[in-house]
Amino acid sequence: MEGEEGGKLSIYKAARSIKRRENTLYNALKSIYQDSIFVGEISQLWPQLPLLANLRCGLWYSPKFYATCYFKSTDGHTNNCSFNTSRLNLHVAQLAGQKGGCMIVDATRRGKRFPDSMSKTIPIWTCVLNRAISDFRKEFHDTNGNASLKGDSNGCHEHTTVTRDVSFDWDCSLHLPLWVSETEKALIEERLEKWTLGLKASGADIASLAACLKKPLRPLWISQKTVIWLNEVPDHDSWDFTPIILVSASSSTGVSQHRTTSEFSWKYIPGAADDEESWARGLSPSLFWNHVYDLINSGPDVCNQKVADLVEKNRVYRAYRGESAPQITIKPLKSGCLSHEGPLVIADISNIKIDTESSEDLTISWLGSTNVAVGTSQIAAGVADVDCILNCDCETIPVNLPSAEAYLHLPMMTSKFDRFSLLNNLPSAVSFAKFNLRQRKRLLICCHNGEDISICVCLAILMSLFDEKGTFDDGKSFNMINVTKWDMRRRLVYVCKFATNARPSRGNLRQVFNFLIGDKCIEQDLDTGGDE
């Protein structure tokens, strides 16, 4: 096969070229919108159940979600399944207990009906949680007799009587879909006890889950191929379990689907929202849904330009509000992917009308009573109830604080780009936190997305300056112990209890661990299972 030097494309390069031409921005957005109709129809079958997006792909498939969660497909890969204490998603179980169940939305590009996150990761999660809750109920019954568990302040049931029958009948079976082989199921079942012990040792609040859940968790699977008789849809309260309904948004057909509307032709892309960095060109799910009809009706020829204009207008709007709004640089796609050659030209923004009334629902997460909060750098400038800010984003932000000393900017990069960025900046970060927390000031730690670097900085501060109960002790308890992997995991579970969107990467967690152990074993590896 001749290369490009001979004027001919290889089969591989020709296939890649065809794929690039078909996977246009318009095709992706139109496919997402088409699949969102199915998600909306399923959500209306059980309107009482909250709809959750599995980050990040699932977040594109509905204009409104009750909450988000983070179950990784890599934790469910064939012969490599795991239960990860750094991604416990306990808020999902709590919410399911409060509402009687929930629905989780995700999608996959691979021509399968369900992503591995739904086929195995979540079923393993429900099983391990059920086993831990069952053990807790038995231990509680043996210690307290026929007493009752009282729910917490999160809206769980106030009283759940724990009887011997309930404890022993609590379903701890592993429920997997039919397409998972018996061999793989047996391999997973062999590891359930180890994972359950790991959950108990992580410091997770099993007591609150036991008080909140009246019935054991169990996954159900719904895709576009699922047959549902609308006149026979069961009420979720009629089941003898708490349903975790897993909705795979995209069609699983492996055949290229060219579709035509009254105005445009387009190609359907299964799981189009996956890997948004490769196609979204700065567009976010919220921005997409705020302008969905304008984008879908614009057609493929002008879609790219409309997205560019929207992204730039949104950037100007956020800058107008004083938020962090760096210029977005988009690498121009190769020919065949755009309706015109070269980089997109941003429209003249001098006449853009800024809507100062609308804004996204952006909040920060306070970590218990520690006086420490975590959030994104975009909202840090507008937060009123903080006394000092530690900004870990690469971009500085405008702040309104009583003194210059109340703001510290430590630009940090994720471990993908700098393996020592976090490690080199943690001493200054902890010193800044210690100085302000000694004065009982309220500290906000922010980064670009509020999910990774800022979480790791919070983890380092809590480990260095607080005891295991979350009480500030100026580092006394830290100086009395030799930090282990399990100490880190337990404290990370504490952080994730409040910052439910936390997604720290393994490389950044390793830097935190190396900072905490100092020079004693700086090369020791920390495998917490986070994504890189």
Question: What per-residue confidence (pLDDT) applies to 513?
Answer: 94
Task: Assess contact for 512 and 483: CB atoms under 8 A.
Answer: no
Domains and their CATH numbers in the chain: 20-142+171-248 (no CATH), 365-524 (3.90.190.10)
pLDDT, one tens digit per residue, over 219-265 is: 999 999 988 877 778 888 889 999 999 999 988 765 456 666 657 78
3-state helix, strand, coil in the chain (%, to 5): 40, 10, 45
Query: Which among 504, 526, 485 has a CA at the least distance from the CA of 445?
Result: 504
Strand partners, 374: 365, 445
Question: What gap in Å lies between CA 150 and CA 109, rounded to an integer?
Answer: 44
What separation in angstroms does the CA of 108 have from each of 57, 113, 207? 8, 8, 35
Query: Which among 84, 373, 74, 369 has a CA at the least distance from the CA of 202?
Result: 84
Question: What per-residue confidence (pLDDT) applies to 381?
Answer: 72
pLDDT, one tens digit per residue, over 24-68 is: 899 999 999 999 999 999 999 999 999 999 998 999 999 999 999
pTM equals: 0.80
In this structure, of 31-45, 163-177, 219-233, 479-493, the range with the lowest mean pLDDT score is 163-177
Question: What gap in Å lies between CA 311 and CA 303, rounded to an integer?
Answer: 12
Mean pLDDT of 79-104: 92
